[in-house]
Amino acid sequence: MENILSQEEIDALLSGLESGKIDTTPEKPEEGKVKPFDFRNFAISTRLKIPGIDVINDALARALRLSFSTMLREMVDMINIPTQMERFRDFLNKIPVPTSIHIFKLEPLKGNSLLIIDAPLVFVFVERFLGGGERKIVKVEGREFTPIEQKLIKRVVDMIFLELEKAWKNVYPVKPKYIRGEVNPQFARVLQPEETVLVTGFNLEMETISGKILFCYSLSSLQPIKDKLYSPYQIEEVIDSKWRRSLEQIILNSEVSLRALLGKGKITLGDLIHLKEGDVILLEKKSEEPIEIQVEDTPKMQGKMGVFKRHLAIQIEKFVTFQEE
């Protein structure tokens, strides 16, 4: 409360401004404090909203959440990381050593991309593949992945690429092609240091450990399909062909009630009581008029009465349209 001006101080301040006693001229910057701006070396770190990338990430997160939970035998949560644009060199400088780095291409697009898996996640996958249960704290710094660990983590990478290809189908069909794996980011300089890249991915969270899975795409390689990436997309789920055929078979084998309505008529209750064999009931339809065929009590077809192989039958002449229903 000590920094609040009293009414007398406020009046004195306003009076000084009106009389000119208080100088309101902005101060000039002191010499030596203004720094030149280098347009070639400035850092980029901007969050982006790209509808196409969001569609891909949403589909990929759903698929990987289920696959990782099955693979690790525990519930895994996948949290989307906002898409960012930055310099390739700045991105590499933030990657620790060791890290599971995998270089790949999105054919038919040009240029290379990176898949980054944090080292703690690598050790969790390797431990579960080898039958381990209780998670142990592994010292990450100062060591590299063994050939066995690299071979086992390649199984995870192949699974990620399989789901990545399915997720991209909603936007643009691509085929991830694996090139090589690295541990040190200094050997993963597959793009120019000043090249702009899109960085997106997920934060994978488990009960006692978490880590990131990142994708680094070259902005120039995505340039030919930028119209598709920035267009509003409807998420189209990939339908399993076997499931679709099975569902179609069940629907086609479903039984429905079918009846033909010869006509309608009205009589009094007294006439109904006195009916006997040989009496005739007049219907509201002539004999030459088409007969209405109902499916589950809904008019669907029209036909004419006849005989087929000594059985009473109806020959379909017309299907009833929605307006006629």
At 263-287, the pLDDT tens digits run: 888 888 888 888 888 888 888 887 7
Q: Which helix H or strand E contains 158, and what residues bound it? A: helix 147-168
User: How confident is the model at residue 23, as a pLDDT?
Assistant: 65
Both 265 and 209 in one domain: the answer is no
Burial label for 202, CB within 10 Å (0-12, 13-18, 19+), is: buried
Q: Is residue 307 helix, strand or coil? A: strand
User: How confident is the model at residue 252, as a pLDDT?
Assistant: 87
Both 172 and 222 in one domain: the answer is yes
Measured CA to CA, the distance from residue 43 to residue 31 in angstroms comes to 25
Q: Which of 102-116, 203-217, 289-303 has the highest mean pLDDT?
A: 102-116
Measured CA to CA, the distance from residue 319 to residue 290 in angstroms comes to 12
Both 233 and 300 in one domain: the answer is no
Average confidence (pLDDT) over 54-72: 89
Residue 31: pLDDT over 70: no
Count, in order, helices (H) and strands (E) of the chain: 9, 11
Both 87 and 113 in one domain: the answer is yes
Both 107 and 234 in one domain: the answer is yes
Closest CA to 286 of 307, 260, 304, 267: 304
Q: Structural domain tally of the chain?
A: 2
Q: Which whole-number Å values give the CA distances from 181 to 75, 184, 211, 274, in the listed order?
A: 28, 10, 19, 95
Average confidence (pLDDT) over 298-304: 88
Does 32 reside within a domain?
Answer: no
For residue 294, give the CATH number of its domain.
2.30.330.10
Residue 1: pLDDT over 50: no
Residue 73 gets the label, from left (phi > 0), alpha (psi -120 to 50) or beta, of: left
Which residue is it, tokens 């980054």?
116
Does 8 reside within a domain?
Answer: no
Among the listed ranges 57-71, 157-171, 276-290, which one has the minimum average pLDDT value? 276-290
Residue 300: pLDDT over 70: yes
Both 294 and 214 in one domain: the answer is no
Single pTM value for the model: 0.59
At 74-93, the pLDDT tens digits run: 888 889 999 999 999 999 99
Domain containing residue 291: 257-273+282-325
For residue 235, give the CATH number of its domain.
3.40.1550.10
pLDDT bin (cut points 50, 70, 90) of residue 137 is: low
Average confidence (pLDDT) over 119-139: 74
Measured CA to CA, the distance from residue 258 to residue 111 in angstroms comes to 62
**Residue bearing the bigger pLDDT, 245 or 175:** 175
pLDDT bin (cut points 50, 70, 90) of residue 173 is: very high
User: How confident is the model at residue 109, as a pLDDT?
Assistant: 92
User: How confident is the model at residue 117, as a pLDDT?
Assistant: 93
Q: Is residue 126 helix, strand or coil? A: helix
Query: Prior bond to 108 cis, omega within 30?
Result: yes
Residue 147: pLDDT over 70: yes
